[in-house]
Chain A
Amino acid sequence: MIGYREIIKEGLWNNNQALVALLGLCPLLAVSNTLVNGMGLGIATTLVLVASNTTVSLIRNWVRQEVRLPVFVLVIASFVTAVELSMNAWFHDLYKILGIFIPLIVTNCTIVGRAEAFASRNNVPRSALDGLSIGTGFTLVLMVLGGLRELIGQGTLFSGLHLMFGEGARGLVFSLGDDYHGLILAILPPGAFFGLGLLIALKYLIDRRLEERAARKAVQAEPATDTAAAPAEG
């Protein structure tokens, strides 16, 4: 059985749904034009993921194998509806900006994927944690990509923060100054693809560096066995 620490690591890094599994790309690319938009959709997705994973895990022994997918989708759809209505009530401006992409969380492959691959086979605490860590990993990528595109495209960070945290947050908006023209392409759809591609490349670069370092450490740790084995092979 997979450990809790493992679940967190998988969701945030090793099996990051946006960078490794490349699931949920449609909302990822469409709403990541500012950091706040990315964060809003990310949090909504995480909420749905935790709730749906928990519920699916609760009912996993009562749902027949043949009808499990429709049942999962029903569960997910009800949570998405709940999240959508709450956002409409409490974050109305953000709700208007994210628009169609909130109801479309239903179709996000990540969610039904986690329900099928994880929650339907694991107990409730593990499934809930999996939903949280997968959702957080997805949210972080959305925020980094959104922040990157916002910074390059319009020279600001955290613009629209007041949509989530009230008027007081307006002062936190960071700006490169009015002289910055902005590379509008970064905000347009091609910018999303370029940005995601670069992030994936960066992840693989970090992974490779880590592997190399681990390999070097392993060699340094046991140099005696290496030299001892060499003549035997020769």
Chain B
Amino acid sequence: MVKISFRTDRCKGCGLCVTACPKKLLAMDSEKINAQGHHPATITDASACVGCASCALICPDCVITIIKE
């Protein structure tokens, strides 16, 4: 099982992770605003994540951590 977690307080809302996800699972959370004033990245369907880490690889701010259990 893949566990993906976001350090949302560090997210600058650039959206690069959304473009990198091959399964189009990521989105910017328009319901939330973090301390920096950005809509942080979130995953729409965590169960479909394959843990390829493309999002984490392109994230400039090390927001995403991926663990395979």
Q: Do A and B come from one complex?
A: no
